[in-house]
């Protein structure tokens, strides 16, 4: 006959109440943790995007200030004089006030030829073939170049061109101010970028419309072509339809994750790209992430503590079952120790009292049985003697033997 399988009380409590609740709580905690991480990632990306956009806007404002300084000088009547000497004098005078343009100043006529320059070797050159000058001649307005080689000794530079109008409002030419580019350059242009403090946790990179690096936190990268970068293609809109302002999380192989923010610089063809260590960004909210992780860990440890607590509750019941079976087998010395401070302890004490009473009763019963047995044995001996004394033959023989 097979013995039916039965679950104990503790097993039933764990199976039907604790296990489902624990699984649900762990699932909820895990989902909350993952959702929190997603929310943190989204907020950090939005934050980096906004910071990059604001920095690009400030950089655009700085470029606009450069153009305003040039425009003030471009409104001088001497700049549109028909006398080349007067134009050269006006430009030389302006150069004293515009020393921030460390690659020099150039005054172009309406056809794009150099009419005056702080660098005499440029006199008479035709600049109408420069892309930014062609754009300027088509639409006379402030124009900012990409990386060009019009700096001293054909060094890399960037230029800002503003229109010079005649007395009747006609286009007379352009006043061009240039900044040097390169590792060793220390200029107002680079100083304004550094003052933006956009590389607090990582690197910053300024690229022109063709993906050439104008500025980088690592000066050795200046002049390199990074147009193949996915982020640069997006911000320069080389990847048609891509959003030009944004932030993405990048994972390079097995290295550390980074967040790349990107935004175009207003009024230029340039773009600003920032790259920040993910751990540096996440460190700002790391306390809350660690706190949530600790809570999740506690949620996993809590089941173990609950099982231990449940064992403390159910163990006296198991002891009571064993003790009951022992008493049923006649072992009245079995006692239970339950220091739970509740009804189970009271029940254990009552059982111990009952067991003690049974033990006393059983001992008393055994004593009475022994006494009764002794009495019966004595009476049996007396009866045997009386019986023998009533036997006549036995009495005569015994008397004869004594005489």
Please choose, from the candidates 278, 176, 156, the residue with its C-alpha nearest in 3D space to the C-alpha of residue 225.
Answer: 156
Successive 10-residue mean pLDDT values, the chain, 403 residues: 48 62 71 73 82 92 95 91 88 93 93 93 93 94 94 92 90 94 78 78 87 91 90 76 75 71 92 82 62 68 68 70 70 67 72 74 75 78 68 62 63
The answer to whether domain 40-63+197-283 and domain 65-180 are alike in fold is yes
Confidence (pLDDT) at 206? 94
pTM over 0.95: no
Domain boundaries, the chain: 40-63+197-283, 65-180
pLDDT score of 296: 67
Contact criterion met (CB below 8 Å) for 167 and 80: yes
Residue 291 in tokens: 């706190």
| CATH number attached to the domain at 65-180 | 3.30.450.20
Pairwise CA distance, residues 278 & 259, whole Å: 6
* Other residues' Cβ atoms within 10 Å of the Cβ of residue 95: 16
CATH architecture entry for 40-63+197-283: 2-Layer Sandwich (3.30)
Determine how many CB atoms are found less than 10 A away from the CB of residue 76.
16
Q: According to the model, what pLDDT value does residue 360 have?
A: 75
CA nearest to 248, candidates 259, 236, 232: 259
Pairwise CA distance, residues 295 & 32, whole Å:
11
Cα distance between residue 96 and residue 73, in whole Å: 11
């Amino acid at each position: 006959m097979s013995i039916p399988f039965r679950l104990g009380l503790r097993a039933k409590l764990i199976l039907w109440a604790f296990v489902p609740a624990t699984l649900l709580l762990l699932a909820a905690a895990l989902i909350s943790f993952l959702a929190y991480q997603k929310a943190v990632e989204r907020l950090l990306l939005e934050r980096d995007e906004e910071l990059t956009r604001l920095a690009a806007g400030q950089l655009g404002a700085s470029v606009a200030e450069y153009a305003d300084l040039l425009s003030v000088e471009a409104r001088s009547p001497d700049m549109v004089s028909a006398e080349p000497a007067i134009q050269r004098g006006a430009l030389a005078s302006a150069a004293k006030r515009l020393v921030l343009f460390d690659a020099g100043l150039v005054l172009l006529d309406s056809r794009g030829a150099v009419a005056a320059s702080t660098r005499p070797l440029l006199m008479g050159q035709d600049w109408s073939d420069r892309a930014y000058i062609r754009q300027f001649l088509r639409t006379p307005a402030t124009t900012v170049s990409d990386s060009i080689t019009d700096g001293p000794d054909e060094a890399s530079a960037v230029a800002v061109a503003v229109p010079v109008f005649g007395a009747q409002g006609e286009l007379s030419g352009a006043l061009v101010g240039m900044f040097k580019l390169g590792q060793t350059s220390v200029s107002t242009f680079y100083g304004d970028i550094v003052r933006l403090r956009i590389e607090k946790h990582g690197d910053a990179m300024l690229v022109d419309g063709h993906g050439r690096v104008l500025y980088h936190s690592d000066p050795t990268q200046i002049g390199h072509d990074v147009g193949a970068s996915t982020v640069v293609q997006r911000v320069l809109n080389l990847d048609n339809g891509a959003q030009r302002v944004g932030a993405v999380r990048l994972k390079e192989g097995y290295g550390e994750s980074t967040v790349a923010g990107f935004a175009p610089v207003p009024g230029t063809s340039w773009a600003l790209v920032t790259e920040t260590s993910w751990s540096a960004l996440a460190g700002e909210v790391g306390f809350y992430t660690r706190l949530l992780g600790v809570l999740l860990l506690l949620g996993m440890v809590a089941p173990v503590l609950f099982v231990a607590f449940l064992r403390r509750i159910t163990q006296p019941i198991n002891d009571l079952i064993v003790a009951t079976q022992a008493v049923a087998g006649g072992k009245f010395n079995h006692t239970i120790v339950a220091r739970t401070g509740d009804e189970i302890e009271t029940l254990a004490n009552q059982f111990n009292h009952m067991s003690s009473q049974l033990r006393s009763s059983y001992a008393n019963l055994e004593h009475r049985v022994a006494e009764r047995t002794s009495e019966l044995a004595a009476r049996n001996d007396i009866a045997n003697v009386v019986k023998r004394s009533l036997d006549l033959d036995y009495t005569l023989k015994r008397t004869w033997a004594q005489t």
